Amino acid sequence: MAVRAPISVLIPAKNEAANLPACLASCSFCDEVVVVDSGSTDATAAIAAQAGAQVADFRWDGRFPKKKNWALASLPWRNEWVFILDADERITPELAAELTALAGGGAAGGGYYVNRRFWFVDGWLNHCGYYPSWNLRFFRHRLGRYERAASEGDTDSGDNEIHEHVNLEGPAGYLRGELEHFAFPDIATWVEKHNRYSSWEARVQLASSRGAEAPAGLEAGLARKRRLRRLAWALPFRPSLRFLYHYVWRAGFLDGYRGYVFCRLMAYYEFLSAAKAAELRRARRFQP
SS3 264: helix
* Cα separation, 186 vs 77, whole angstroms: 36
Burial of 145: CB neighbours in 10 Å, binned 0-12, 13-18, 19+: buried
> Quick one: pLDDT at residue 157?
57
DSSP conformation class of 230: H
Q: Which residues pair with 82 in a beta bridge?
A: 8, 139
Domains along the chain with CATH numbers: 5-184 (3.90.550.10), 187-285 (no CATH)
**Residue type at position 113:** Y
* Cα separation, 113 vs 41, whole angstroms: 33
> Quick one: pLDDT at residue 152?
44
> Quick one: pLDDT at residue 138?
98
Angle (deg, nearest 10), helices 187-209 and 256-285 = 40
**Residue type at position 203:** R
pTM above 0.85, yes or no: yes
For each of the chain's 288 residues, which pLDDT tens digit applies? 578 999 999 999 999 999 999 999 999 999 999 999 999 999 999 999 999 999 999 987 877 888 999 999 999 999 999 999 999 999 999 999 999 999 988 788 899 999 999 999 889 999 999 999 999 999 999 999 998 764 444 555 567 888 788 999 999 999 999 999 998 889 999 999 999 999 988 988 887 766 545 555 556 666 666 666 777 777 789 999 999 999 999 999 999 999 999 999 999 999 999 999 999 988 887 765
